[in-house]
Amino acid sequence: MARTVLRGLGASPGVVVGRAVILREAEASAAPPDQTAALAALEQAAAELGRVAAGLRSAGLADEAEILEANRLMAEDPSLAASVRELSARLAPADALRAAAEGYACVLAALPDPVLAARAADVRELGRRAARIADGTAAQPLPDVDSILVARDLGPAEIAELELGEGRIVAVALAEGSATAHAAIVARSLGLPMAVALGADLAAIAEGAVLVLDGEEGVLSVDPARGELYEARESMRAGARRRRALADLRGLPAATLDGREITLLCNAASLAEIDAGLAAGAAGVGLLRTELAFLEAPGWPSERQHCEALGSLLASLRGRVATVRTLDFGADKTPPFLDRTAERGLTLMLTQPEALAAQLRAIVRAGTGTHLRILLPLVESAQQVRSVRSLLRDAVGEEHPVELGAMIETPEAVQRATEIALEADFLSIGTNDLVASTVALHRDLPLASAATAADPAVLAHVASVVVAAHDVGITVEVCGEAAGVAELVVLFVGLGVDELSVAPARVDLVRGVIRAISAERSASVAREALAAPSAAAAVELVRSGESGDEFREALEGLGGVRARG
């Protein structure tokens, strides 16, 4: 293929150079029909997805691990299994699995619900994985030189395996795909540059061809000119320097240029995530998810089970902030014993006061020696906070004072923020749900919570919560995905947020942004953003408004950040 430029959509930023590695499409199988083998392969594929999810969680990427856990559960969908059973009566197991997955994916892709449509690629990935298992073929070996994987489409687990594996895939180029797919979310979280929707011409690329991929602009250059190669390699070296500069700031406070200090915490659900966050300099944990350990539970966990799940996690946080969220079951985190349950979060837990009391006792027992805070998910009213405080008092007595926080995650809760703040010891804004409910996007779509959290309506909600909290003398944290996005960090600091809790992998970036901006200038930009006509306009104010070089340095990778004592 002569020098060519293919244009698609940017899905995960970064400019990289690499040799093309072509992901080969599977051929029809010659094996005889075998229903048992087909269903066994589907079950084994589910187990593989569980292992990849565990790898993501160990890397400090709990939200991304949840995506794969949900995909694992899809493998157990009775309708998919029924289709596999029917097709495998006349087709080879691998062919039956691919065909069943494709039929299921086509149904999803045609649905008006964007989150269900986005799962079509995930189902196709499940089919490919199960088909490979059924045929007994090994996954394509990963290269040992910097390479760009070229494929028609990939799912989130396939992306995770590329980055977490031993090979040297430095970017991904897809003929199809979407910047809002789960694969793109995982690629961005792992820092793996990716361009999607590059079109059918991608299939003409030869194995080993030299490629330059720009994951921000969605551009792939095939056999680029010498000057383009030089520029791309310089960009890669500059990116490495910026990452080193960010890491050099560890141990320094997350304080703005004009002296306002922000408490920088990490989100976690595992010991590996806690360790990664603390290693990056987080002051503790601002959101410890507790429900992920019990997604397969046959019933409400006992106090002993909660203690076992929390013991090692909280032991590693002795002397540090430990913010433990009570079970947030419901929606996409529903264990089998709660199947068909409509309630979610705190509303659900308050229907089971004994189960909630058991968890409260366990949190207090396991949290000895930490700066312990208990966080309540999806709070809807002040009365709910009062009810939990009463349960907590009865469960552990007056001699164990514990801070009790409320998550504000809906516009309705924002409207009641003042009365909730009067009953709580701190407030936490969960931007994933708040963005989704404010601008009518599903919480699983990409963000959505990153770019769309700059929507003036969302920013106005954040501002209202900050005012409500500060009026009664309590702090506000932001703990959703948006808290780890550079432009949003500027806006949240400008709106007066006190704490930011982010994925461990984002701690360095967030600290760097905070140390490169002034709180006063951020407040000025945030006021303008509240009046902006759109999220894009608000983000542009941050990037290129009156802030000038100061913000540009912060948002373009902090190349000019210096270590201040």
Model confidence over 78-91: pLDDT tens digits? 888 899 999 999 99
Structural domain includes residue 451: yes
Rg (CA), the chain: 24
- Is the domain of 89 the same as that of 216? no
Is there a catalytic annotation at residue 479? yes
- Is the domain of 210 the same as that of 255? no
Structural domain includes residue 326: yes
pLDDT at 316: 95
Say which of 182, 266, 306, 461 is annotated catalytic: 182
Of residues 117 and 532, the one with the higher pLDDT is: 532
| CATH number of the domain within which 290 lies | 3.20.20.60
Sequence letter at residue 112:
P
Can you point out the beta strands (E) in 448-496?
475-478
What dihedral do alpha carbons 181, 444, 190, 68 form, nearest 10°? -90
- Is the domain of 283 the same as that of 237? no
Q: Which of 136-145, 310-319, 329-338, 436-445 has the highest mean pLDDT?
A: 310-319
Q: What is the mean pLDDT of residues 236-241?
A: 81
- Is the domain of 266 the same as that of 414? yes
Structural domain includes residue 337: yes
Residue-wise pLDDT for 160-205, tens only, equals 888 766 678 889 999 988 876 788 878 887 888 999 999 999 999 9
Structural domain includes residue 358: yes
Terminal Cα distance for the chain, rounded: 53
pLDDT at 501: 96
Tokens for 53, please give them.
């999810």
For residue 238, name the pLDDT band (cuts at 50, 70, 90): confident
What dihedral do alpha carbons 201, 207, 209, 212 form, nearest 10°? 70
Q: End of a domain among 197, 219, 242?
A: 242
Of residues 120 and 416, the one with the higher pLDDT is: 416
Residue-wise pLDDT for 507-546, tens only, equals 999 999 999 999 999 999 999 999 999 988 998 898 875 4
pLDDT at 263: 98
Structural domain includes residue 157: no
Q: What distance in Å separates the CA atoms of residue 476 and residue 359, rounded to the nearest whole number?
A: 24
Structural domain includes residue 560: no
pLDDT at 495: 98
- Is the domain of 99 the same as that of 200? no
- Is the domain of 216 the same as that of 97? no
Percent of the chain exceeding pLDDT 90 equals 51
What single string gives the DSSP state of each residue in 382-400?
HHHHHHHHHHHHHHH-TTS
pLDDT at 210: 93
User: Which residue from 105, 157, 169 is spatially nearest to 132, judged by alpha carbons?
Assistant: 157
For residue 21, name the pLDDT band (cuts at 50, 70, 90): very high
For residue 496, name the pLDDT band (cuts at 50, 70, 90): very high
- Is the domain of 227 the same as that of 301? no
- Is the domain of 129 the same as that of 205? no
Span of 22-26, 380-384, 477-481 with lowest mean pLDDT: 22-26
Of the CA atoms within 13 Å of residue 472, those in its CB half-sphere come to: 17
Q: What distance in Å separates the CA atoms of residue 287 and residue 502, rounded to the nearest whole number?
A: 9
For residue 1, name the pLDDT band (cuts at 50, 70, 90): low
Q: What is the mean pLDDT of residues 340-364?
A: 93
Domain with 9, as residue range(s), is: 4-19+167-242
- Is the domain of 421 the same as that of 493? yes
Split into its structural domains, the chain has a count of: 3
Sequence letter at residue 351:
T
Structural domain includes residue 28: no
Residue 344 pLDDT > 80: yes
- Is the domain of 254 the same as that of 197? no
Residue-wise pLDDT for 373-407, tens only, equals 999 999 999 999 999 999 999 988 877 779 999 99
Q: End of a domain among 186, 217, 242?
A: 242
pLDDT at 70: 77
Structural domain includes residue 44: yes
What lies within 8 Å, CB to CB, of 343 at 6+ separation is: 330, 351
Within the chain, how many helices (H) and strands (E) appear?
A: 24, 16
Residue-wise pLDDT for 44-64, tens only, equals 998 888 888 888 877 767 777
Residue 562 pLDDT > 50: no
- Is the domain of 220 the same as that of 257? no
Burial (Cβ within 10 Å: 0-12, 13-18, ≥19) of residue 3: exposed
| CATH number of the domain within which 220 lies | 3.50.30.10
Span of 105-109, 162-166, 274-278, 288-292 with lowest mean pLDDT: 162-166
pLDDT at 557: 47
pLDDT at 269: 85
Global confidence as pTM: 0.74
- Is the domain of 252 the same as that of 237? no
What lies within 8 Å, CB to CB, of 291 at 6+ separation is: 327, 328, 329, 333
Q: End of a domain among 227, 242, 257?
A: 242
| CATH number of the domain within which 57 lies | 1.10.274.10
Of residues 563 and 232, the one with the higher pLDDT is: 232
Tokens for 34, please give them.
């075998």
Say which of 266, 307, 461, 479 is annotated catalytic: 479
Q: What distance in Å separates the CA atoms of residue 479 and residue 332, rounded to the nearest whole number?
A: 19
